[in-house]
Every structure is written in structure tokens, then in C-alpha cells.
Structure 1
Amino acid sequence: MSIEIHGRNEVERLRRAGKAAAETLAYVGRKLAPGITTAQIDAWVRSHTAQLGGKPSQLGYEGFPAAVCTSRNEVVCHGVPSPKVVLAEGDIINVDVTTMLGGFHGDTSATFMIGRVSDEARYVVEAARSCRDAGIAVVRHGARLGDIGAAIEETAKKLGCTVVRDFGGHGIGRRMHQGPHVAHTGVRGTGPRLRAGMAITVEPMVCLGRPEVRVLSDGWTVVTVDGSLSAQFEHTIVITEAGYEIMTVPPTGGAWAIQPERELELT
């Protein structure tokens, strides 16, 4: 799969799509509370995306039946919204929004904590954010793709967590998913070189337990085999000569979390 290099005008369109996706994610995040169904999240994403002039990229993608992925607790990714899934106090839930606007896509996700959560739930949420940020931090023109996965894996190991290997990030632009595949584990100094103008997502799925996963009978929902909690954070970024630019910065500039953050202690 070829890797697209975006020009200045294309990066601006990626920036607009990313901003729209981030605004929708923030809108949903502010409304989450115990008693909300994941079907309601889907309805909010559809309406807010339309208000911004965009379309939900995920709706109908390879047959996906919803406009957003909603992955709660042990669900790693691709959770299908349902009126039967009701958020409860203590849940964690990843909301994955992708917006198509002006012919380009912006992809972002965050894991939100619902009410008072356990120490373990808070820990895996903050670990996932730390892993995403560690992966992004090594991005620069001339670096290797394997540097991203290595940085994520090293951070997860220090935090006593694991990283799902079966899924990863991807190139993004005129299509939601395009080359390259961005593995969240890897070896430094390996893989294709990153070039200014490339657009990718960095979106590690981090688990408290083992990294093995399985797909449920709906053909979409991916869960941890051991039932352990999993969390994920995602940004769309463009590689620049100086490093990178995040396309999906939250509109307030703050971190994604309903609860206040605290520093993680590396072990």
C-alpha cells in the first residue's frame, strides 16, 4: 500500500477535518454520564457531525452499522453502539470519532471515565494516554516507523501494562484507512522512514492484563480474552520538517478525561 505525501493545501484540509472530529468528540465527552446508552452517543455524533458540515467516516465502512465506535471496559475497539449498552458509574469508555469533511478525514478517540472509577480503571486510562504521547513524541522527518511502536511498547512495559498487537494506526487522508500500517509495538530503527507531509494516526490500545483479543459474534466488537480493562487514545498527526503537527487537538487544549489527571509512577 503506497504512502501518500500531502501538500500544503491537503494538510489544511486534513487540519479542518481533524478539528471537526475533535470538536465532535469533545461535544460527546461533555455529555457522558451514568444512564446514557451508547446508541445515544451514536445519535449525538451523527447530529453534531452534520452541524459541522461533515459526514461520519465510519458509517457503512466495510458494513459497520454505526457512526462511531463505543468501546466500554474490556472492549478494546470497534464496539457497536446499542440501546442495550448503558453507561454505569465506574465505567470507562472509548469514543472513536472519524469525520469526513471537504474530502479528507480526521480520526480521533479518547477514553472517558464515568463518575468515580476504580484505581485500576484510572490507571489504565492514564497509561493509554501516556503511551499515545510517547509514540507521537518520537515522530519527525527521517525517523523510522518502528520508532513509534518501540516507544509505545517501552512505555507500556514501564507502566506494567500491555499493548494490543492485532490492531494499529494507519495512514489517513482522502481515505480513512490507507498506508502505512502503524504498529504499536516494534523495534527502533526499523520500518519505512517518516517523511514530511505523511499523515498517520497513533492510537495504542493498552490493557491491564494480557494483550490477546477476540472478536465477538457481531463480527466487530473486539474484547480482551482475559476480560481485563483496556483503554485507548488517538490523534491524527502530520509529519513536518520540524517534527509533527496534531490535527485533532481538543478544542479547549486540555487533556481528554472527565476526572482530573495525576502523574503515573514509572516502575
Structure 2
Amino acid sequence: MLGRDRIQYKTPDQVRLMRAAGLIVADALQAVRAALAPGLTTGDLDRVANELIVGRGATPSFLNYGRPPYPATLCVSVNDEVVHGIPGSKVLRAGDVVSVDCGAILAGWHGDSAFTAVVPGDSERDPELAKTDQDLIDTTEESMWRGIAAIVAGERLNAIGVAVEDFVGDRFGLVEDYGGHGIGTEMHQAPHVLNYRTRDRGPKLRAGICLAIEPMLTAGNPDTRVLSDEWTVATVDGGNAAHWEHSVALLEDGLWVLTAHDGGVSKLTELGAPVSSLATSA
């Protein structure tokens, strides 16, 4: 159902269908994370995800999306690449910071999620820089959860951006050129979700809205540029970046993180956010 604000509001049964797609994405990212190792190419990671998604009877959301058509199942962004890195022949090294974004369609419904991790193994990277990388990753993940916990019925949409920005503070650069989005029968739907505060507080949040929350942080300057492949977004100063994302449903009785294996129950409870009974009974 489309509201007057052009947002697609879902019924609980439709959210259950989105949960099925979300679990496929969660399993694909889990498999990619387990495979992450020095010597693999970003294309190798793409094949891991593609085989799992297709094997579950789903379709990769990203493949052939947009103009020019996106040519892969995953976005794999390495070090200074923020988002939309195209998998290929790039060989991963121990200590690389790798962001992996994945989407899948099942029965017409989308799931979308991302994580960032350091390639394991012995690395020649300076220990202080390595510590900064891990802090960057951890801060980005926590800022995502703070944004998710701000999704409360009756609040305005920009409460999410306020929560993200307040948590990040001045510790890292907060990318403003890209943000989250509505999700459902299309991967990208209204509304666009900013990761920072604005005067426009946006529409009121109400039951049935489903959002992909995805902050992106940088170790240095948050300004970005698009590379010659017309997809990959990188930092202008060469600093490393991190990206985390979950797809989330707001229901009458609370939240359900559709792309988290536990439905988000553990982290939402820690943050004191309302958890839907669908998340605890699934």
C-alpha cells in the first residue's frame, strides 16, 4: 500500500516474505565473511554469494541494476573504496578493509545488507593504522544500530540521521552523498534516509515502513568521487572507509531486523529499542 508520502507500507504477511529474502542475504554474507582470506580475489567472493543466492531460488538484486547495468552479485569495496566496488581480479591482502554489500529478491521482495571486515592474516600494516581501521569498522556498525533503534512510530524520519550523527561525532568522516532507503518490491524506494541531521525532519514513521539503514564512514575526509567504471565510489584523500547496512521493518509492536539472523533481538534489547513479537517468534 502506498501512502500519500509515496512510501510503500507493508502488511505483516508481506514483511514475513521480506524476512525470507533477508535471511538469504544474511546467509550469503555469512558465507562471504567465512571465505574472506588473503589471496582470494573480489571476484571469488562474488561467486560465493551468487552460488548461495541462486541455489536458494532467489535472484541477486544488484546484477544488471541501473545504468550502466551493474555486472555482479555483490559490491566489494576495498580500503579507500566506500561503496559500489565491482568484483573482479583484485587480489585481497591481509589487513585490507573490505566492505561487502549484498541484495537478493525472493518472491518479488528484496533484502539488502552489508558489512565491513579486515582480511585476516599477518599484515605489514602499521599497528596504529590497523587499530584505527578496526575502530572505524566498529563505529560504523554501532552507528547503524543507533540509527535502527531510532526507528520509532510517531518519530520523524530524520531521527535516524540524528542518532547516527550524534554517535559518530567528530571521530570519523560521515559520508553525506549516499544514504539509506525504503525497500520492498523494489530495492530502492522512498524515502531516502539521510545519515545526518537536517532541518527537514521528514515524514512520520509508522507501522509498515521498511527501511535499509546504511551509514558510511571514512578515516579521513568524507568527500567522495566516482571512478571511471561509473560505479565505484572512493574517498578523495585515499583514506579507508567502512559501510554497514541492515533492512528493518517497523511493525505495530516494534522492530524486526530482516537481514539479521536473530532478527536484531540481541542488539535492539541492549539499546532499549522495542522488538516486534514477529522477531522473537520467527
TM-score of the pair, normalised by structure 2: 0.86
Q: Structure 1: where are the runs of 5+ without partners?
A: 256-267
Structure 2 counterpart SS, 1:145: coil
User: Structure 1 134/254 Cα, relative in aligned 2: closer, same or farther at 3 Å?
Assistant: closer
Q: Is the 8 A contact 1:26 1:250 kept in 2?
A: no
Identify the match of residue 38 of structure 1 among 39, 42, 46.
42
CA distance in 1, matches of 2:211, 2:46: 25
- The structure 1 segments of at least 4 consecutive aligned residues displaced by more than 3 Å after TM superposition are 250-255
Alpha-carbon distance in structure 2 between the residues aligned to 1:187 and 1:154: 13
Q: Could you say if the C-alpha distance between residues 55 and 245 of structure 1 is closer, same or farther in structure 2, counting changes exceeding 3 Å?
A: same
CA contact (8 A) 2:137 2:242 kept: yes
1:10 counterpart (14, 17, 21)? 14
1:126 match: 138
The secondary structure found in structure 2 opposite 1:111 is strand
User: Does the residue aligned with 2:103 lie in a helix, a strand or coil?
Assistant: strand
Aligned partners of 1:187 and 1:144: how far apart in 2? 11
Structure 2 portions without partners, runs of 5+: 124-129, 267-282
Work out which of the residue numbers 139, 155, 166 in structure 2 matches 1:143: 155
Task: Tell me which moved more, 243-252 or 141-150.
Answer: 243-252
Deviation at 1:254, TM superposition (A): 11
- Give the conservation status (yes or no) of the 8 Å contact 2:257–2:263: no
Amino acid at match of 2:192: H
1:77 aligns with 2:83: yes
Residue of structure 2 equivalent to 1:106: 111
2:257 touches 2:264 (CA, 8 Å); kept in 1?
A: no
- Counterparts of 1:254 and 1:93 in 2: how far apart (Å)? 26
**1:247 counterpart (248, 253, 258):** 258
CA distances 1:216-257 after superposition (whole Å, capped 9, x unpaired): 0010000011111110110000012233110011369899xx
What SS class does the counterpart of residue 149 from structure 1 fall into? Answer: helix
Instruction: Choose which of 223, 226, 248 in structure 2 pairs with 1:237.
Output: 248
Report if the CA contact (8 A) 1:140-1:241 is conserved.
Answer: no
Deviation string, structure 1 residues 150-188 (Cα, Å, up to 9, x no partner): 111111115x11211011111000101111101111248
Amino acid corresponding to residue 53 of structure 2 in structure 1: T
Alignment partners' CA distance in 2, 1:127 and 1:88: 23
Matched, 1:217 2:221: no
- 1:160-171 matched pairs, under 5 angstroms: 160-171=171-182
Distance 1:23 1:2 in 2: 31
CA distance in structure 2 between the aligned counterparts of 1:187 and 1:170, rounded to whole angstroms: 16
Quick check: 1:144–1:189 contact (8 Å CA) kept in 2? no
- Structure 2 residue corresponding to 1:67, chosen from 73, 82, 106: 73
Distance 1:217 1:184 in 2: 26
**Cα offsets for 1:109-153 (capped at 9, x unmatched):** 100111157111111110111110111111111111111011111
What RMSD in Å do the two structures reach over aligned CA positions?
A: 1.9
SS in 1 for 2:169: helix
Match for 1:29 among 33, 38, 49?
33
TM-score, normalised with respect to structure 1 = 0.90
Could you say what secondary structure the match of 1:59 adopts? coil
Q: Cα distance 1:8–1:240, how it changes in 2: closer, same or farther (>3 A)?
A: closer
- CA gap 1:189/1:60 in 2 versus in 1, 3 angstroms: closer
State the Cα deviation string for residues 26-57 of structure 1 (Å, max 9, x = none): 01110110011001111111111011110100
SS in 2 for 1:210: coil
Secondary structure of residue in 2 paired with 1:61: coil
**SS of the residue 1:16 aligns to:** helix
Match for 1:208 among 216, 219, 241? 219
